[in-house]
């Protein structure tokens, strides 16, 4: 890794956590459903699964849709995304023949061909058969510069908890008596050939209240894990402790990360004698170190060097100068009312900025030199669609991977040398007929007057009679942006049938940077829900649809959004799909990783409950109200958001005689599915249910 970021060790952990047991409240009549693997609870799940299957999955139309989505997921024509590791380009691939997936590699010359020849490195299906296991791939960390040994993370069934095993890329075998981390939240990261950092469950008292590692240790090859030497131990209330080495040639440094909460962390430089020097930047800033540079992506105002830098700014200074006390930063990006930083990527000599202007990507190139930073255009960047940029090899190359996509245009992958025209390497096939549709962007006016953008995909010949079956999707949390992307599932399951699809960019997300996220935190959470309701109203006002024909869907934090649409705005929707949701916001901080999200929602065990109860669907439910047809989906193996949320809400609504059904995948983790077959089934259930309800 050529850059160490204070956020990288918890990337992907929004709505994540531990599977440790917690005591359920006796006053809750449905508390017994929190016992994830309890026999009684699983019998309850299986009975409701069977009922939902009989209602939704028993028709020929469902079987056809499921098969179409499965064919898309299994397609050999999909873009095989690659990562350069040494001289090879590695890809993890699932299809019909490789249900759990195969880790494989090729050369760039071969990858350029329409049908590259791949060399299998690790076949997970074969491994599962040999070990009688259900391993799910969680990634590999390979040690530069030799790239002989890798640390491979494997999850049993798709849970976030995983094991780490040492693997030899030369022999393509796991290393006998190599590094092994037992199943837990956490990980291993390389220091050198014979030493790793280990952050994991070391026994009682070594996990945070969120279920993540609270201690990081240095572990020598050939010694017991129990003999590993403590590098840093967190404090009560911390969220995640980890460490890693930046292996950039000539710039090797070791860092310890102490995460207190999302967007609240401390970063330390580990010195040769083992002592730690704090990088004295704001806890709320994302801190990135690359070669001789320190980058800060600010989320709050920051006074430094006689200036006050705005939230959303990206500022830079030489790392050694900063550690010596200097604060003469240079601004690389400053936000505007309609522009926010979506990301930045280092190459060998450049920094590529990805900026969103009203949720549309714009790329530029910054180059450090003797006279400061020079800015230039990114040559050949597409003018439309969602753009993604990533370095091919930040140590040795100025090449980047460039992806471009939108709702109706199959994703393309290009390789681009900075300053030269991109070369298109791969394109996804056309998975559905989008020729009859058009993409639009609109702005709805929220309750407080804020203009909220959303994307709309509709038939060109839409009648505007309020009868179009319309699906509105949203998330609205953790500074995560919702951007257009090509989806065969949405295409086959919705658009090709003549449906309208809308994607909401509500507050709580990152579409306009930190301010957009912070506008819907804690006591202001209701603004995200008001934004979403305003978009629903706007769709009706434009005569695109009407409440009876308007459906909505969202998962995880988006599942909490759906729960609030269900309980606070039931009259606006004809059907709702609630996926892997949070719903009991009184209990959420005691279930799995809930404690790690209190910076987002608040602490229900304090006075915060006064505002939290205003967006807790489990408590807002009123048996006297009429609710739209509802489908809850979750996973038994989800050790991020506890399946008890969905189970208990289902039980509550079922007991009140509401129009509700439930499906829980036994595997799959927070993503809901462990393989393509499960993913196709879950996707088809959602679309088939919505289409049936909204076309009545």
Q: What is the DSSP string of 664-692?
A: EESS-GGGT-SSHHHHHHHHHHHHHHHHH
316-331 burial: b if 16+ Cβ within 10 Å, else e: bbbbeebeeeebebee
**Whole-number pLDDT of residue 638:** 76
Residue 316 Rama label (left phi>0; alpha psi -120 to 50; beta)? beta
> Could you tell me if 663 and 580 are in contact, meaning their C-beta atoms sit under 8 angstroms apart?
no
Report how far residue 574's alpha carbon sits from residue 328's, in angstroms, rounded to the nearest whole number: 56
Give the confidence band of 594 by pLDDT, cuts at 50, 70, 90.
confident
Q: Which residue has the tokens 């934090």?
A: 557
Report how far residue 65's alpha carbon sits from residue 71's, in angstroms, rounded to the nearest whole number: 10
Q: Which residue has the tokens 């939240």?
A: 185
Report residue 131 as tokens: 């070990």
Report how far residue 458's alpha carbon sits from residue 40's, in angstroms, rounded to the nearest whole number: 45
| DSSP conformational letter for 588 | G
Report residue 235 as tokens: 């404090």
Name the residue among 578, 539, 585 with its Cα closest to residue 562. Answer: 578
**Whole-number pLDDT of residue 255:** 98
**Whole-number pLDDT of residue 426:** 96
Residues of the chain above pLDDT 70, percent: 95
Angle at 66 between CA 65 and CA 71, to 5 degrees: 95
| Peptide bond connecting 169 to the previous residue in cis, omega within 30 degrees of 0 | no
**Whole-number pLDDT of residue 12:** 42
**Whole-number pLDDT of residue 8:** 40
Residue 614 Rama label (left phi>0; alpha psi -120 to 50; beta)? alpha
pLDDT at 7 over 80: no
> Could you tell me if 150 and 167 are in contact, meaning their C-beta atoms sit under 8 angstroms apart?
yes
Give the confidence band of 15 by pLDDT, cuts at 50, 70, 90.
very low
Q: Which residue has the tokens 């829900």?
A: 529
Q: What confidence tens digit (pLDDT) does each residue in 79-130 have?
A: 999 999 999 999 999 988 999 999 999 999 999 999 999 999 999 999 999 9
pLDDT at 183 over 90: yes
> Could you tell me if 504 and 539 are in contact, meaning their C-beta atoms sit under 8 angstroms apart?
no
- Per-residue pLDDT, averaged over 601-615, amounts to 98
Neighbours of 142 (CB within 10 A): 18
For residue 654, the surrounding DSSP H or E stretch is helix 644-655
30, 138, 247, 670: the catalytic one is 670
- Per-residue pLDDT, averaged over 481-487, amounts to 96
Helix axes 557-568, 644-655, angle to 10 degrees: 20
Name the residue among 668, 619, 610 with its Cα closest to residue 648. Answer: 619
| Peptide bond connecting 308 to the previous residue in cis, omega within 30 degrees of 0 | no
How high does pLDDT run on average in the chain?
A: 94
pLDDT at 301 over 90: yes
Q: How far is CA 250 from CA 245, 246, 253, in A?
A: 13, 10, 9
Q: Which residue has the tokens 């995880």?
A: 556
**Whole-number pLDDT of residue 641:** 86
**Whole-number pLDDT of residue 14:** 45
Q: What confidence tens digit (pLDDT) does each residue in 38-93 have?
A: 999 999 999 999 999 999 999 999 999 999 999 999 888 899 999 999 999 999 99
**Whole-number pLDDT of residue 666:** 76
**Whole-number pLDDT of residue 96:** 86
Angle at 521 between CA 263 and CA 551, to 5 degrees: 115
Give the confidence band of 21 by pLDDT, cuts at 50, 70, 90.
very low
539-578 burial: b if 16+ Cβ within 10 Å, else e: bbebebbbbbbbbbbbbbbbbbbbbbbbbbbbebbbbbbb
446, 556, 616, 635: the catalytic one is 556
pLDDT at 669 over 90: no
Q: What confidence tens digit (pLDDT) does each residue in 186-233 have?
A: 999 999 999 999 999 999 999 998 899 999 999 999 999 999 999 999
**Whole-number pLDDT of residue 673:** 57
Is residue 670 flagged as an active site residue?
yes
pLDDT at 316 over 90: yes
pLDDT at 16 over 70: no
Name the residue among 215, 310, 311, 228 with its Cα closest to residue 258. Answer: 215
**Whole-number pLDDT of residue 157:** 82
> Could you tell me if 578 and 498 are in contact, meaning their C-beta atoms sit under 8 angstroms apart?
no
What residues contact residue 567 under an 8 Å CB cut-off, 6+ apart? 617, 620, 621, 622, 627
- Per-residue pLDDT, averaged over 668-676, amounts to 59
Q: What confidence tens digit (pLDDT) does each residue in 492-534 have?
A: 999 999 999 999 999 999 999 999 999 999 999 999 999 999 9
**Whole-number pLDDT of residue 11:** 37
Q: How many helices (H) and strands (E) does the chain have?
A: 14, 40
Helix axes 644-655, 39-56, angle to 10 degrees: 70
pLDDT at 19 over 60: no
Name the residue among 581, 515, 600, 601 with its Cα closest to residue 262. Answer: 600
**Whole-number pLDDT of residue 159:** 83
**Whole-number pLDDT of residue 210:** 86
> Could you tell me if 538 and 529 are in contact, meaning their C-beta atoms sit under 8 angstroms apart?
no
Give the confidence band of 674 by pLDDT, cuts at 50, 70, 90.
low
pLDDT at 305 over 50: yes
Helix axes 557-568, 526-541, angle to 10 degrees: 70
For residue 396, the surrounding DSSP H or E stretch is none
**Whole-number pLDDT of residue 242:** 98
Three-state secondary-structure class, residue 568: helix
pLDDT at 348 over 90: yes
CA 199 to chain centre: 21
**Whole-number pLDDT of residue 461:** 98
Flag the least confident range among 23-37, 259-273, 474-488, 506-520. 23-37
Is residue 427 flagged as an active site residue?
no
**Whole-number pLDDT of residue 18:** 32
**Whole-number pLDDT of residue 1:** 33
Report how far residue 489's alpha carbon sits from residue 302's, in angstroms, rounded to the nearest whole number: 44
Q: How far is CA 271 from CA 13, 277, 292, 413, 457, in A?
A: 28, 7, 16, 40, 54
Name the residue among 159, 7, 112, 15 with its Cα closest to residue 580. Answer: 15
> Could you tell me if 315 and 295 are in contact, meaning their C-beta atoms sit under 8 angstroms apart?
yes
């Amino acid at each position: 890794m050529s850059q160490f970021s204070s956020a990288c060790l918890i990337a992907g952990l929004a709505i994540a956590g531990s599977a440790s047991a917690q005591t359920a409240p006796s006053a809750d009549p449905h508390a017994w459903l929190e016992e994830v693997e309890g026999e009684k609870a699983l019998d309850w799940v299986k009975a409701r699964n069977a009922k939902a299957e009989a209602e939704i999955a028993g028709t020929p139309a469902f079987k056809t849709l499921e098969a179409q989505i499965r064919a898309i997921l299994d397609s050999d024509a999909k873009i095989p995304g690659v990562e350069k590791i040494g001289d090879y380009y590695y890809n993890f691939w699932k299809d019909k023949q490789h249900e759990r997936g195969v880790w494989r590699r090729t050369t760039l010359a071969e990858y350029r061909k329409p049908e590259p020849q791949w060399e299998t490195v690790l076949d997970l299906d074969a491994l599962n058969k040999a070990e009688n296991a259900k391993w799910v791939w969680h990634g590999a960390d390979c040690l530069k510069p030799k790239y002989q040994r890798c640390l491979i993370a494997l999850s049993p069934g798709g849970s976030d908890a995983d094991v780490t095993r040492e693997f030899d890329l030369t022999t393509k075998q796991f290393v006998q008596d190599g590094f092994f981390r037992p199943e837990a939240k956490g990980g291993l990261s390389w220091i050198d050939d014979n030493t790793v950092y280990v952050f994991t469950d070391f026994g009682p008292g070594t996990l945070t209240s969120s279920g993540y590692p609270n201690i990081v240790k240095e572990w020598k090859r050939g010694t017991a894990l129990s003999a590993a030497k403590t590098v840093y131990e967190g404090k009560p209330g911390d969220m995640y402790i980890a460490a890693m080495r930046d292996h950039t040639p000539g710039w090797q440094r070791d860092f310890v990360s102490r995460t207190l909460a999302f967007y609240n962390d401390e970063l330390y430089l580990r010195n040769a004698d083992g002592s730690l020097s704090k990088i004295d930047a704001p806890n709320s800033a994302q801190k990135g170190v690359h070669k001789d540079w320190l980058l800060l992506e600010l989320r709050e105002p920051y006074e430094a060097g006689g200036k006050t830098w705005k939230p959303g700014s990206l500022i830079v200074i030489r790392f050694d100068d900063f550690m010596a006390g200097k604060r003469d930063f240079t601004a690389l990006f400053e936000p505007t009312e309609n522009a926010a930083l979506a990301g930045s990527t280092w190459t060998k000599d450049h920094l590529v900025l990805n900026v969103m202007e009203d949720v549309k990507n714009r790329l530029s190139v910054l180059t450090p030199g003797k006279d400061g930073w020079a800015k230039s255009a990114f040559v050949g960047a597409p003018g439309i669609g969602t753009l993604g940029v990533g370095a091919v090899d930040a140590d040795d190359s100025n090449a980047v991977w460039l992806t471009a996509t939108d709702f109706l245009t199959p994703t393309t992958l290009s390789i681009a040398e900075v300053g030269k025209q991109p070369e298109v390497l791969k394109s996804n096939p056309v998975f559905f007929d989008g020729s009859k549709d058009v993409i639009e962007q609109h702005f709805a006016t929220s309750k407080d007057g804020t203009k909220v953008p959303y994307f709309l995909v509709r038939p060109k010949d839409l009648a505007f009679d309020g009868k179009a079956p319309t699906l509105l999707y949203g998330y609205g949390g953790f500074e995560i942006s919702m951007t257009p992307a090509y989806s065969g599932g949405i295409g086959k399951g919705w658009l090709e049938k003549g449906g309208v699809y809308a994607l909401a960019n509500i507050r709580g997300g990152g579409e306009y940077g930190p301010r957009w996220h912070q506008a819907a935190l804690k006591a202001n959470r209701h603004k995200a829900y008001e934004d979403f309701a305003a978009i629903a109203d706007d769709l009706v006002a434009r005569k695109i649809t009407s409440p009876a024909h308007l459906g909505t869907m969202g998962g995880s934090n988006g599942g909490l959004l759906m729960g609030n649409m269900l309980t606070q705005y039931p009259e606006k929707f004809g059907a709702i799909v609630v996926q892997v949701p949070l719903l009991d916001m009184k209990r959420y901080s005691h279930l799995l990783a809930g404690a790690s999200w209190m910076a987002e929602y608040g602490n229900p065990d304090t006075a915060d409950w006064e505002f939290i109860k205003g967006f807790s669907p489990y408590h807002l439910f009123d048996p006297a109200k009429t609710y739209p047809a509802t489908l809850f989906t979750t996973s038994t193996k989800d050790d991020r958001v506890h399946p008890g949320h969905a189970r208990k809400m289902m039980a509550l609504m079922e007991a009140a005689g509401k129009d509700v059904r439930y499906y829980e995948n036994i595997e799959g983790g927070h993503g809901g599915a462990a393989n393509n077959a499960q993913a196709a089934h879950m996707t088809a259930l959602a679309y088939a249910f919505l289409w049936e309800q909204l076309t009545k």
